[in-house]
Structure 1
Amino acid sequence: MTLNITDMPLEQFKDWLVPIVNEDIFTSRERLIALLAKNAPHDELEEEFREFFNGYYVLALELEEYEEVILGIIEQNDAFAHLNHRISAVEAQRKSSPLGREARRMGLSVHGDPVPEIKVTALSPDEFRGFVHTLANWRFFVSRERLVKLMETDDRIEISYRLRTEFYEFFVCYLELELFLENYDYDPDDGLELRPEFIEELEREEEYIRSGGKMYTLEEVAEELGIDLKCMN
């Protein structure tokens, strides 16, 4: 998708930013900070981290769609030399492919990509607390706060350039957060129990198949419904 941030009118740019800066990861991060501050039990911290990680996954899907465009803008502007230096450092240290990074967020791996070295669920309570503390205090979140404050500023002339500049800082901080998480293996669905009604449905389907019930292919279903699969490609 083409995204012309540099020519986008200020109000349109702010509207585009709204869902990004309000993703669930940011409210979850605030809850993590509160849990850390009161030295909450490990299971509470672990449960909130799952929410945090799910929020991170959603935000990553949002941002990576525009990664190529944003990196191109930063690269072409001499004023962002400091950001280009940080981007180069990230790219030099990255071990996984874009597909591998997406798979890692789901607790999966891609053939040919290195397997993360550290399993989050294997961390001791103290190690896990330290890990969460590092994430919750990442400067990515500081940059997000600056973005929000700029978005709330009424002076259009003052913030037009600053808002875009801060967004590029925010994006590079996100890349650095991604790099940090590259070494960690975590599946947010690991250990979750299936809903009883879902288990019952699986058991009914299994019994249906054992008793001779027929399974239909996609092609057979399409033929029955009169759908031409070729038209859907």
Structure 2
Amino acid sequence: MKTLSDMTHSELHQLLHDLVKDDLFHSRERLIKLLNLNLSSKKKTELEAEFREFFCGYESIAFWLEEYEEDPLNGLSPHISLAKKLKRQLDYIQSNRKTTLEERMCRRMGSYLESDPMPEIKISELPLNEFCKVIRTLVTQEIFSVRERLIILFQQNPSRQQLDAAFREFFVAYELFELALEDYHYDPDEGLEIRPEIEAEIDQSIADHESGKVKAIPVEEVVRKLGL
């Protein structure tokens, strides 16, 4: 990802526009509605399904932001209120974070590096009341209030400077959101079953290859056909 100083006004506007439209925010609204329902086994099933969407939304935002390496304080006067706020938040993140970027990227792919042991708290095994507490903690993270302010800002034909400040604030809020997830293990693919017809197709494909009915295309042939 480009640094802030390298982004044009339109590029930064489009990036922020894409971020605030992410499914994470729509899923959050649905989770809040579910949290207001009475406790029941049906509610837990619905919460689990929606939390999967919520987590996948987080992964989508992470895909956009994980390559951004510039210090959010870079270029800001340390005396302005935004810089002071972001510094407090970044200091908190630095003091409490246990993982590296590489470790977090692996977690999002459902695996763990040797340097990053799996957290003891497994979200899928939490009782309903504890599961609800975790969700409440996540849906009240600052990233959601920052997003609301961004939506209002977009209605005001924001300047390049305003978009710059908004991105810095959003990025740090995203980092705080990641920190809130750090002590939990969650795999959105866990418990999902492959439909019988898809599983049958996979088994048949494997059998065809093993029997010689279907032959794999050599890499050299693929390269030749693609003109690489």
Please classify the TM superposition score into its range, dividing by the shorter chain length. Answer: 0.7 to 0.9
Tell whether 2:15 aligns with 1:16. yes
Tell whether 2:53 aligns with 1:56. no
Instruction: Give RMSD over aligned pairs.
Output: 2.5
What is the match of residue 182 of structure 1? 182
What is the match of residue 99 of structure 1? 102
What is the match of residue 205 of structure 1? 205
The superposition leaves residues 135-180 of structure 1 with CA deviations (integer Å, 9 ceiling, x where unpaired) of 11112101110011111114x5xx6544432332221111111111
3-state SS in 2 of match to 1:115:
coil
Q: Is the 8 A contact 2:99 2:116 kept in 1?
A: yes
Which amino acid in structure 2 is aligned with residue 24 of structure 1? D
The alpha-carbon distance between structure 1 residues 226 and 125, as it changes in their structure 2 partners (threshold 3 A), is closer
Unaligned runs of 5+ in 2: none
- Aligned pairs (5 A) from 1:30-179: 30-39=29-38, 41-66=43-68, 68-69=69-70, 71=71, 73-77=72-76, 78=78, 79=80, 80-154=83-157, 156=158, 160-179=160-179
Q: Percent same amino acid among aligned pairs? A: 38
What is the match of residue 28 of structure 1? 27
Which amino acid in structure 2 is aligned with residue 103 of structure 1? C
The farther-off stretch of 24-33 and 36-45 is: 36-45
Q: CA deviation at 1:33?
A: 1.1
Q: CA deviation at 1:228?
A: 9.4
**Separation of aligned partners in 2, 1:121 and 1:53:** 13
Q: CA deviation at 1:210?
A: 4.9
Which amino acid in structure 2 is aligned with residue 224 of structure 1? E
TM-score (norm 1): 0.83
**Separation of aligned partners in 2, 1:60 and 1:222:** 33
Count of residue pairs brought into register by the alignment: 221
TM-score (norm 2): 0.85
Q: CA deviation at 1:7?
A: 6.6
The superposition leaves residues 181-230 of structure 1 with CA deviations (integer Å, 9 ceiling, x where unpaired) of 111100001111112332112211333355455764xxx6123346399x
**Separation of aligned partners in 2, 1:98 and 1:227:** 37
The superposition leaves residues 105-159 of structure 1 with CA deviations (integer Å, 9 ceiling, x where unpaired) of 23311121232221001111100011111111112101110011111114x5xx6
Unaligned runs of 5+ in 1: none
Q: CA deviation at 1:91?
A: 2.0
The farther-off stretch of 94-103 and 84-93 is: 84-93
The alpha-carbon distance between structure 1 residues 144 and 199, as it changes in their structure 2 partners (threshold 3 A), is same
Q: CA deviation at 1:12?
A: 4.2
The superposition leaves residues 23-42 of structure 1 with CA deviations (integer Å, 9 ceiling, x where unpaired) of 11111111111111234611
3-state SS in 1 of match to 2:60:
helix
What is the match of residue 223 of structure 1? 220
3-state SS in 2 of match to 1:74:
coil
Q: Is the 8 A contact 2:90 2:172 kept in 1?
A: yes
**Separation of aligned partners in 1, 2:44 and 2:136:** 13
Which amino acid in structure 2 is aligned with residue 32 of structure 1? L
